[in-house]
Structure 1
């Protein structure tokens, strides 16, 4: 074999080695991007859960406030009905928040972070639903 041919073979081997290393780096990079996407999916689900709870708390406060603010403006039954609709909506938001958090859809790849414990979600939102129901009962039974 001539020197030029040996040099050509060496370049070919070096080029193939670089190509192989590049393919491994791309695979590792794609895997890492996929893992980070799974983390972002969990964080997005937590933000959605927080939005459901925030909306539910706002609706609960609005329902109690509507009863108090409307008592001298409209018939008492209408003020109670308006407050009831808002309070029932708050209970729906608390339940929907847990449902959406526990069933986020298609499973992502295994993320690096942990999800919120389902028992915590159910217990906190269960308590909030009970508060909503207590407020609903209070709207209809307490005469102001």
Structure 2
């Protein structure tokens, strides 16, 4: 093999190895920032890891909102039509958050089987349902119970 070709081949191999290592390091570093979406039925089936940041969504179950009188703590349940998931949130809820409306929460699954949310997103208009919620509830009644998603 000609020395110039050998030198180019070595350079290409080194560049590919360094690029692969860089992609590997970036992926490893981003693991802690990834939020996986789970429907309430996945929580009921035990498919959700504890103590990892996750997203969950569904419709807020009517009558499930319980506010603590001495703090900002709020407990409520989300449903996808098959199972319910209890959520605890300790901040101010969005103005559009209400019973029977779609919501997506971000937080961690605790050992008690509930999600301790650090963020709650509520739908923004009458016809919108977050894509993840719509997918998990496909074919079931909508949050208002009057139409299919």
TM bracket, shorter-chain basis = 0.3 to 0.5
Task: Compare relative contact order (CA 8 Å, sep 6+) and give the higher one, 1 or 2.
Answer: 1
Q: TM-score if structure 1 supplies the norm length?
A: 0.33
Whichever of the two has the greater Rg, that structure is 1
The answer to which structure has the higher helix fraction is: 1
Taking structure 2 as the reference length, the TM-score comes to: 0.33
Structure in which a larger fraction of residues adopt strand: 2
